[in-house]
Amino acid sequence: MNSALSLLHPYPFEKLRALMAGAQPPADRSHIALSIGEPKHAAPAFVAQTLAAHMDQLSVYPATLGSPALREAIFAWCQQRFGVPDGWMDAGRHALPVSGTREALFSFVQAVFNREQGGLVVSPNPFYQIYEGAALLAGATPHYLPCLADNGFAPDFDAVPAEIWQRTQILFICSPGNPTGALLPLETLKKLIALADEHDFVIAADECYSELYFDENSPPPGLLSACVALGRSDFKRCVVFHSLSKRSNLPGLRSGFVAGDAEILKGYLLYRTYHGCALPGHVQLASEAAWKDEAHVRANRALYRQKFDAVLDILAPVLDVQRPDGGFYLWAKTPGDDATFARELFAAEHVTVLPGSFLSREVDGFNPGAGRVRMALVASLEECVEAAERIRRFLAA
């Protein structure tokens, strides 16, 4: 067996199951899960119809590069969403369809990280655990940048020593962040590109929550936006990861894309050809349809706005919690230990939340997720309101 497997930490939900073992929640209250970030809004009907209409594609080996029509739909979306000018993206060079961002984030590190050179994979802390697992199994050393309230829950990139940047091969960023919901401003993204040029590392921008924001007139910038602002038409050292899971409520479709630096994607395509992870033909056709439609995405955002408004009205007077910049999580401060809070809330009210310390790593005796919990507002409006009322009752007990 690969000895690096022993370096992997238990997944947060394994820790949560162990934490809840033996707890006896009240039987007269249905379970409400705010712990798992699995979208529960209805999937677009036209996507299901497209899948059903093309089941003949089950008899066809799919292309790893994806169909020209899917790639064109991805490019058109990048133009519309991030202002990428005509002619900047080539259909065969600047994007690849992938089996959701989780698969892509992991495999990207395996393809890009140079084991002979060694060095760091840098990520926010707290973070999506795939960043760390991908680094460890690629032979890299993870390095964690704390995301604290006094910096808007974003990493303080100015505080990172030059010697760390010099050892960095890949920098993961996540905007809006998981679990904090923090956005990285355009100027910060431009600054990171300058650092990547100076120290020769790749920026891997996880933007799977990018379409969950509150102001329809102000979509948040992404790494492609920064490339456009800088006139960086080659997207050098910049790669973005997008998914239909959160944007379109299609987590089971396992469909997304990676776009950016053509030279990096050329090597990544070679890796993927051997990796054997091409999207089935009917999934590609359904994905094409989803990327071409924005009406269902706007409706999705409206549902999340309703839930944030209702839940914050209930919780803000009794809990230290604020509306995030984007995403569908609340990053609430707990009155005491976060794991104890989560277990006692479950036992008293049959509501599960995820302890923030399970999403973070302790560095120099400090865990930046400790004392907070992540609440995913993915259930129905009624269930989210009920969960918030139970949490308020629990806090008043």
Where along the chain do its domains lie?
3-42+296-396, 59-293
Which CATH fold would you assign to the domain 59-293? Answer: Aspartate Aminotransferase; domain 2 (3.40.640)
- Which three-class secondary structure state does DSSP give residue 154? coil
Whole-prediction pTM: 0.97
Residues in the chain: 397
Q: What is the mean pLDDT of residues 332-354?
A: 98
The sign of the CA dihedral 325, 327, 333, 337 is negative
Rounded distance between C-alpha atoms, residue 211 and residue 240, angstroms: 14
Per-residue pLDDT tens digits for 287-311: 999 999 999 999 999 999 999 999 9
The residue assigned the tokens 């924005």 is 294
Structure tokens at 183: 């956005």
pLDDT at 273: 94
Per-residue pLDDT tens digits for 194-246: 999 999 999 999 999 999 999 999 999 999 999 999 999 999 999 999 999 99
Rounded distance between C-alpha atoms, residue 48 and residue 254, angstroms: 14
Identify the CATH number of the domain defined by range 3-42+296-396. Answer: 3.90.1150.10
pLDDT band at 358 (very low <50, low <70, confident <90, very high): very high
**Residue 94: DSSP 8-state:** S
